[in-house]
Structure formats: structure tokens, C-alpha cells
Amino acid sequence: MGLPLIVFDAAYGENERKMRIDMMNDAAEMLEAAGLKNITAYNDESKHPGIGIHEMGTARMGRDPKTSVLNAHNQMHTVKNVFNTDGACMTSASCVNPSLTYMALTARAADFAVKEMKKGTL
């Protein structure tokens, strides 16, 4: 039997391809507006998802178990002793590294878990 495994199948779709081209063009335009010269934009589609970004949104946080996996404490709705504090809980990302946010989510979830364990509810 063994342990159950989660299998991910991730790929870029048409919308992601269009967004890459738009980002590439916007970046070149901003660099030109800043006074840079000889800008060469590129779109390397050979890279697979995850090579240089933080994937987010695969285990969304929300109030309704029908539309989200995690509650406000990053605790699974259906498995109360499982907490997920990486970027999966976020539905979007900004243009900065989210590591400090992950650390804050982890600290908050751990604090909640300890309090629940002391109450005997977890």
C-alpha cells in the first residue's frame, strides 16, 4: 500500500504565454524610459514552472471548505492536524520575494496550533 502521494501536473497555458510576452515588453519599455540603451528582451519558454518563481494558490485559504483548502490559520478544513504555511495559501503574488510572509504565516499557524493543543482541541 504505502503512503498516498500528491501528484502535480503543472504547465504554462495560453494566458501565461501572453502574460510573459506582455511582461517582457513592459520591462523593456520601462528600461528605455529610464534611459537605458541597447535593450534586448527575451522570452525563454524552455523553462518549466517553478524554475524562477514562487508558485502560489494551490491550497487556497478561505472560510468556505467548498472553495478553499485552508482556514484563516493555514489549517486544513478537512484534516485539523495539517497546516500549510507556504505560498500555496495565497491566491496571488507581488513582485517581491514572499519569504518573510511565509515566516509570518508559519509563526501565526504555530501559535494557533500550540494554543489549540493546550486546549485539547487539536
Q: Examine the domain organization and report whether 63 and 89 are in the same domain.
A: yes
Q: Examine the domain organization and report whether 61 and 115 are in the same domain.
A: yes
Q: Examine the domain organization and report whether 44 and 92 are in the same domain.
A: no
Please name the residue that has the C-alpha cell 534586448.
40
Q: Examine the domain organization and report whether 30 and 80 are in the same domain.
A: no
Q: Examine the domain organization and report whether 83 and 41 are in the same domain.
A: no
Determine the pLDDT at residue 47.
Answer: 76
Q: What is the pLDDT of residues 55-96, one digit of tens each?
A: 677 888 999 999 999 999 999 999 999 999 988 888 777 667
Res. 107: pLDDT tops 80: yes
Would residue 5 count as lying in a domain? Answer: no
Q: Examine the domain organization and report whether 88 and 36 are in the same domain.
A: no
Domain that includes residue 111, residue range: 54-122
CA angle 97, 18, 46 (to 5 degrees): 70
The torsion angles phi and psi of 76, rounded to 5 degrees, stand at -65, 140
The residues carrying an active-site annotation are 54
Q: What is the pTM of this model?
A: 0.58
